[in-house]
Amino acid sequence: MFVQPTQPKVILQKLRELVGAALNLEAGRVFLAPDPTMLGRLPPAADLFAAVVFGRVRFPDSPQHPGCWPAEMDLATYIYSRQAVDRPLDMTQLLTHEERGLLPLADTLLSALAGQELAQEEPPGRLLRGPLLCSGFSPIQWGQAGNLVLAYLGLQWIAPFEYAILPKKQ
């Protein structure tokens, strides 16, 4: 299948749709954000939401041709879960709850996204030069008020793609 040169914003938007589908979240509960902590400060009124966060674009040592450059994008997907805990120091439910636990949700997202090449119908082809690679994940407890705890888990990804440089405006 032919690789379509593209821009980071197209890949991020496609991943946003896939994250929503994998976690069974409405489109309004999956955000594009430059920093995962922004959502932690102003959490939406939901117990579960997610974000796709842009990291950086790298250009490996390779020939760069006008209009299209081989590139790799570092990005992350974050799953936020807000839960009531029985004891302030026991976060078992936050990590292991079947529906909203961070580790089961990470498994769900990992199985849905790992190896994706982001196929598309129009124009036909795929957006990535190779499979989407997960380099790891880690949880972070963000805040606590009484017995409510907000935490998130970030999955780190590498997306190899052909960067379509926009033409200069004249």
CATH of residue 27's domain is 3.30.2000
- Selected residue with higher pLDDT from 26 and 144: 26
The alpha carbon of residue 153 and the mean position of all alpha carbons in its chain are separated, in whole angstroms, by: 11
Could you say which DSSP state residue 24 is in? T
Find out whether 152 and 139 touch, Cβ atoms under 8 Å: yes
Q: Does 90 map to a domain? A: yes
Q: Does 169 map to a domain? A: no
Render pLDDT for 46-55 as a digit per residue (tens, 0 to 9).
Answer: 688 899 999 9
pLDDT exceeds cutoff 80 at 8: yes
Average pLDDT of the residues in 90-119: 89
Q: Would you place residue 1 in the very low, low, confident or very high pLDDT band (cuts 50, 70, 90)?
A: low
pLDDT exceeds cutoff 60 at 5: yes
Q: Which strands make up the sheet holding 148-164, listed edge to edge?
A: 30-33, 48-58, 68-84, 148-164, 133-145
**b/e map 130-164, b = 16+ CB within 10 Å:** eebbbeebebeebeeeeeebbbbbbbbbbbbbbbe
Average pLDDT of the residues in 33-49: 73
Q: Does 2 map to a domain? A: no
How many alpha carbons lie under 13 Å from residue 34 in its C-beta half-sphere? 0
- What pLDDT score does 89 carry? 62
